[in-house]
Amino acid sequence: MKSGSIRLCAYAGLTAMTLMFIAMWPFWHILPPPSPNMPLEQMADHFRLRPTSIITGGVLMMLGASLYFLFFGGLVACLKKMEGPVAPLTTAVALIVPFGFFPLFAMAVFFIESVFRPGLSSETIRVLADLGIFMLVIPGLPGLIQFVTTGFIILGDINPQPIFPRWIGYFNIWVGILSIPGCLVAYFKTGPFAWNGILAFWVPAVIFGILMNVTAFAMINAEKRGALNG
């Protein structure tokens, strides 16, 4: 494997996560997301009064969403080394990643459209905002399959010296399980399962951030040790 390529992918993931945070907090002011019960005009004004900020955050989010695919390209290369030449589980991870991370790109597009035409009605802005926030939190089931499958690949590493520590495999499985509440947000407008609730948003967001950092440094360490050579 070309020296430095996995490290590049790992840093792309860390950069993606940073851009995502910057877009959501200083530019969009949706960390945490606004309440699903926020009054119509208040929600519309949240977007209508800061068009440049919303568009700039959208551009940053689209760049971050694109960089996530570079990160997962590196991770899939590591997983293939763990699973072996015939790697159906690794292929499954590669195929399902877009279901979890393209929605971030779509979220940015919905938010940009909400301010692109100044004459949009409050109802239309509300719908576009809802769609954007759904894109952020609702892909819980793709996350379940992706992270649990990744965990099993790590735990089943065929190499005499494991490429990643085994505990990262267990951590992936738990991240997958704890991502499930995201798919329930359409049922709730208040409480822990609402899109700004502790189970649907905060827990998945925090553990995803931790997992990204852990995985990135595990990738860098594996390349430094030469575990991916051959």
Give the tens place of pLDDT for each residue, 112-154: 999 999 899 999 999 999 999 999 999 999 999 999 999 999 9
20: buried, middle or exposed (CB in 10 Å: 19+, 13-18, 0-12)?
buried
Q: Rounded to whole angstroms, what are the CA distances from 170 to 98, 155, 225? A: 23, 8, 22
CA distance 118 to 29: 20
The pLDDT, as a whole number, for residue 1 is 54
pLDDT cut 70: percent of the chain above it: 98
pTM: 0.93
Q: Does residue 91 surpass a pLDDT of 60?
A: yes
Mean pLDDT of 184-205: 96
The pLDDT, as a whole number, for residue 228 is 83
Q: Does residue 2 surpass a pLDDT of 60?
A: no
Q: Does residue 170 surpass a pLDDT of 70?
A: yes
The pLDDT, as a whole number, for residue 230 is 64
Contact 149, 89 (CB under 8 A): yes
Segments in the chain forming alpha helices (H): 5-22, 40-48, 51-83, 88-116, 122-137, 140-155, 166-178, 203-224
The pLDDT, as a whole number, for residue 108 is 97
The pLDDT, as a whole number, for residue 4 is 85
Q: According to the per-residue pLDDT averaged within each range, which of 1-5, 89-93, 158-162 is highest?
A: 89-93
Query: Hey, how many other C-beta atoms are within 10 angstroms of the C-beta on 96?
Result: 20
Q: Six-digit token pair at 166?
A: 């085994």
